[in-house]
Amino acid sequence: MSEQITITGHAWNRIFSVTDGSKYKETRKSGGAALLASLLKLPYEMPRRPKAERILGGTSAWTDGGDRLPLAPAERTVVWDQGEGFGALAAPESGQVLWISGRSLPGREIVGAMQGRCLLLLDADALRRNGAMVSKQVSWERSAAELLEQLRFNPAVNYLMQARRLLVLFGEDGALLLRDGEATLCLAHGREEGTLRKGKALVQDAWAHMAAETARQWQAEIFDLAAVLKAAQAQPAEPKCYPVPAEIPGDWCLIESERGTLYKRAFDLAKNGYDAIEGFPQLTFGDLTTVDRKEIEAYQNIKNLILEYASGRETKPISIAVFGQPGSGKSFGVTEIAENLLPNIKQLEFNVSQFVDEGDIAAAFHQVRDLILGGMLPLVFFDEFDAQDLKWVKNFLMPMQEGTFKDGSGVHPVGKCILVFAGGTSHSFKDFRGRADDGFRKAKGPDFVSRLRGSIDILGPNRLGDGDNTFLLRRALLLRSLCERRLGFKSGEAPVNEVILRAMLLTPKYEHGARSMKAVLDMSRIPRGARFEPAMLPAGAQLELHVDAEAFSRQVRRESVLNQCIEALAQNLHAVYLAAREEERGKNPAEKKRPNEIPWDELTEEFKDSNRGQARDMTCKLKAEGYDYDAAQTPFPAIQDCAQEELDRMAEAEHIRWMKEKTEQGWTYGEPRDNANKKHPLMKPYAQLSEADKDLDRKPVREMISMLDAVGIGVYRRV
């Protein structure tokens, strides 16, 4: 560090003392500004009158710093602020300032005095304690969006925006930097805030280490948020940074910032494991892992609801609704959360569509009571509760509201339990609540909704519309889990042929959701310990029960299907070339025919191979522009055209490929064209070609998409 930096602020001694029999040992360590100075290898004089308290048994005591060093003029000053309880600090009158305040916020006057020349390093919890309404452990997207909204519009904290730069740390798990009007969010791992503090992943004095790294970057005018977070970790993982949009949409999802690589990451996840999503926001409970923001927030809300209910004194049931497509795993997620949170959870499940009369409901609640009397907390699933035109909904109102149920002998208390109502005919809470017909009202649907304390929509493995791209990761997570269980491995590369992974990720639809994915694996003839190969897949008639068998099969055979089409594509490309040359001669009758302006069957093998090479290379050009191709229908709509700038780039790439091919055959530049001596007037950079000559490269590229479609190859934008 430069000598032109000054450390000031609150400091203290920490005294560690241990008595072991007759031996007494004492260790002193610096805290606060003094600790920061030592980490930065800067001189620092401890206050003259520290107040130190000795506590036996190895407990550390930290004390008020007493006198503070005077603020000498400096180009850069680092201030460690512990809050007013340690004595007020003054703002440096000049120079750049790094103000570090992890427990409280600097006062309005202090920030105003340093306006435009200060970097504030604050902790998110300090903002929350001072009136900033920022959620915690819901989702990183929501926390970041709410933090920015509070800093901009909440009078309790918006004065902090006067600072030149503002860095807010979410403990050791995340950081948000506001710099020159732009915001960047960095995550240490992607799991919820507070994760690192639960384990042994932090270095001692983690906050001070992050502050020291911030000071180093601040002096050098370098801002590496990943390095700040890594400074707190005992075994540093690589954090991941995301730009935050100026106007944050309500459905903003961090994982969507990697558009163009989602399929690649999903494939890597299915093949190699969960390291592929490290750094992305994610939620894990037992065998449940999700990366979708909607599911993360819903599961987090359910988790908080269950924890609060289980630890409270309420003895009436709490009610939650779960919706999703058939086979989406409606009971799985809630069960994983409950069983990993509480030791005394016991699951019961009833299918309401099979209830015959009210006695069935009473019998179900008697089973619930038996578990409660046995000291358990029942997790009770009423599957397909909305079956039979909501016939039984009204019978659940009394247990939900009053905590009682009726049978032939009278009214009985239910007791403390978690009631989970899983929809069978409604696939989302919005669909269920949105029913406005008289039948919904007569069945007491609105009354049922009013008694719920939480709901969750399980998204499942199928795409839910054009805007849903994270379905690929949902599929990959489910596929990885199913393969681990079916094939008996836990980590590393999955013993599955890549063409099978691709087909299972890109098949248009699973007819019965997760059940169909599992069925494909279960029906496959995979010997114990063997690698899953295409020959082991079930027959088409079996596949047809769960997927589009033809589309699935063509995905498995994608490369061979494409190779079969190369000859047809090459002939089509030649036909396009002939049409372009005919059009050119129509405009310029003096234009001579070229040797390759003859029917396909009359071409030499050299010219035929040139067309074949152009056809093979076209898919590479499409991929370079963010497109992909498939030999079958996929969940993505096929494109019909591409943008002009993309067309020009692909045309130039085609010209480069053609020149390379010609060069390898011995051709060089020369005018006029001389076939005998292999001289060609177009053997020059694309930029030097006339527009007419450029069109010779553009036209086959433009028509390649429709050609591919004609031979059963779909082209779509990569996600």
Token pair 């399929």 is found at: 263
How far is Cα 105 from Cα 122, in angstroms, rounded to an integer? Answer: 7
How far is Cα 394 from Cα 5, in angstroms, rounded to an integer? Answer: 72
Closest by Cα among 605, 614, 609 to 651: 614
How far is Cα 476 from Cα 289, in angstroms, rounded to an integer? Answer: 11
Tokens coding 278: 């490290």
Give me the pLDDT at residue 136, please: 92
The three-class DSSP label of residue 222 is: coil
Helix (H) or strand (E) holding 346: strand 345-351
What does the angle CA 162 – CA 168 – CA 174 come to, to the nearest 5 degrees? 155
How far is Cα 173 from Cα 195, in angstroms, rounded to an integer? Answer: 7
Does residue 361 contact residue 405 with C-beta atoms inside 8 Å?
A: yes
Token pair 């490929």 is found at: 657
Length of the chain (residues) = 719
Residue 212 has pLDDT above 70, yes or no: yes
Closest by Cα among 312, 317, 309, 307 to 415: 317
Average pLDDT over residues 272-298: 90
Token pair 């799991």 is found at: 191
Average pLDDT over residues 500-528: 93
Average pLDDT over residues 562-576: 83
Closest by Cα among 6, 238, 217 to 121: 217
What confidence tens digit (pLDDT) does each residue in 651-667 have? 898 899 889 988 998 99
Give me the pLDDT at residue 50, please: 40
Side-chain-facing half-sphere of 352: CA atoms under 13 Å: 26
Closest by Cα among 472, 468, 541 to 501: 472
Token pair 């490309």 is found at: 573
How far is Cα 707 from Cα 718, in angstroms, rounded to an integer? Answer: 19
The three-class DSSP label of residue 601 is: helix
Please give the single-letter amino acid code of residue 616: R
What confidence tens digit (pLDDT) does each residue in 111-136 have? 999 988 999 999 999 999 999 999 99
> How many Cβ atoms from other residues are within 10 Å of residue 189's Cβ?
22
Residue 672, preceding peptide bond in cis (omega within 30° of 0): yes
Give me the pLDDT at residue 167, please: 97
Tokens coding 447: 């009354």
Tokens coding 655: 């010209």
Q: Which domains does the chain have, with CATH numbers?
A: 5-244 (3.40.1190), 293-458 (3.40.50.300), 487-558 (no CATH), 560-717 (1.10.490)
Residue 4 has pLDDT above 80, yes or no: no
- Bridge partners, 451 (sequence order): none
What confidence tens digit (pLDDT) does each residue in 34-55 have? 899 889 888 765 544 444 333 3
Average pLDDT, the chain: 87
The three-class DSSP label of residue 345 is: strand
Burial string for 358-369 (b: 16+ CB within 10 Å, else e) reads: eeebbebbeebb
Residue 58 has pLDDT above 70, yes or no: no
Higher pLDDT, 3 or 699: 699
Higher pLDDT, 88 or 357: 357
The three-class DSSP label of residue 74 is: coil
Give me the pLDDT at residue 206, please: 94
Please give the single-letter amino acid code of residue 436: A
Strands 165-170 and 377-383: unpaired
Tokens coding 309: 């209910």
Does residue 105 contact residue 124 with C-beta atoms inside 8 Å?
A: no
How far is Cα 154 from Cα 132, in angstroms, rounded to an integer? Answer: 7
How far is Cα 273 from Cα 295, in angstroms, rounded to an integer? Answer: 21
Which residues contact residue 275 at a Cβ distance below 8 angstroms, ignoring those fewer than 6 apart?
A: none
Burial class (CB in 10 A: 0-12, 13-18, 19+), 313: exposed
DSSP 166-210: EEEEETTTEEEEEETTEEEEEESSSS-TTHHHHTT-B-TTHHHHH
Q: What is the 3-state secondary structure (H, E, C) of 257-307?
A: HHCCCHHHHHHHHHHHCHHHHCCCCCEEECCEEECCHHHHHHHHHHHHHHH
Give me the pLDDT at residue 45, please: 59
What confidence tens digit (pLDDT) does each residue in 661-699 have? 889 989 999 998 888 899 999 999 999 999 888 888 887
Residue 18 has pLDDT above 80, yes or no: no
Alpha helices in 527-633 (DSSP H): 540-543, 549-556, 558-587, 605-624
Does residue 304 contact residue 456 with C-beta atoms inside 8 Å?
A: no
Strands 174-179 and 182-187: antiparallel
Average pLDDT over residues 590-605: 85
Alpha helices in 343-393 (DSSP H): 358-373, 387-390
Does residue 714 contact residue 634 with C-beta atoms inside 8 Å?
A: yes
Does residue 167 contact residue 214 with C-beta atoms inside 8 Å?
A: yes
What confidence tens digit (pLDDT) does each residue in 424-444 have? 888 889 888 887 677 888 889
How far is Cα 563 from Cα 570, in angstroms, rounded to an integer? Answer: 11
Give me the pLDDT at residue 450, please: 94
- Bridge partners, 666 (sequence order): none
Q: Could you say which DSSP state residue 500 is in? A: H
Average pLDDT over residues 463-474: 87
Higher pLDDT, 573 or 472: 472
Does residue 50 contact residue 31 with C-beta atoms inside 8 Å?
A: no
Closest by Cα among 225, 202, 413, 398 to 315: 413
Does residue 320 contact residue 418 with C-beta atoms inside 8 Å?
A: yes
Does residue 299 contact residue 285 with C-beta atoms inside 8 Å?
A: yes
Helix (H) or strand (E) holding 442: helix 438-442
CA distances from 185 to 144, 167, 585 (A): 7, 10, 59
CA distances from 205 to 189, 227, 416, 599 (A): 20, 16, 43, 78
Give me the pLDDT at residue 72, please: 54
Closest by Cα among 374, 352, 373 to 363: 352
Q: Considering the chain, what percentage of its residues have pLDDT values greater than 90?
A: 50
Does residue 421 contact residue 321 with C-beta atoms inside 8 Å?
A: yes
Q: Could you say which DSSP state residue 102 is in? A: S
What confidence tens digit (pLDDT) does each residue in 618-648 have? 777 887 888 877 767 788 877 777 888 888 8
The three-class DSSP label of residue 55 is: coil
Q: What is the pTM assigned to this prediction?
A: 0.80
Does residue 198 contact residue 192 with C-beta atoms inside 8 Å?
A: no
Tokens coding 557: 């055979």
What does the angle CA 400 – CA 406 – CA 412 come to, to the nearest 5 degrees? 80
Side-chain-facing half-sphere of 354: CA atoms under 13 Å: 6
Q: How far apart are the first and last CA of the chain?
A: 45
Give me the pLDDT at residue 176, please: 97
**Strands of 408-559, DSSP E:** 410-413, 418-422, 454-458
Closest by Cα among 228, 234, 336, 229 to 286: 336
Tokens coding 675: 């076939």
For residue 16, name the pLDDT band (cuts at 50, 70, 90): confident
Average pLDDT over residues 400-419: 94
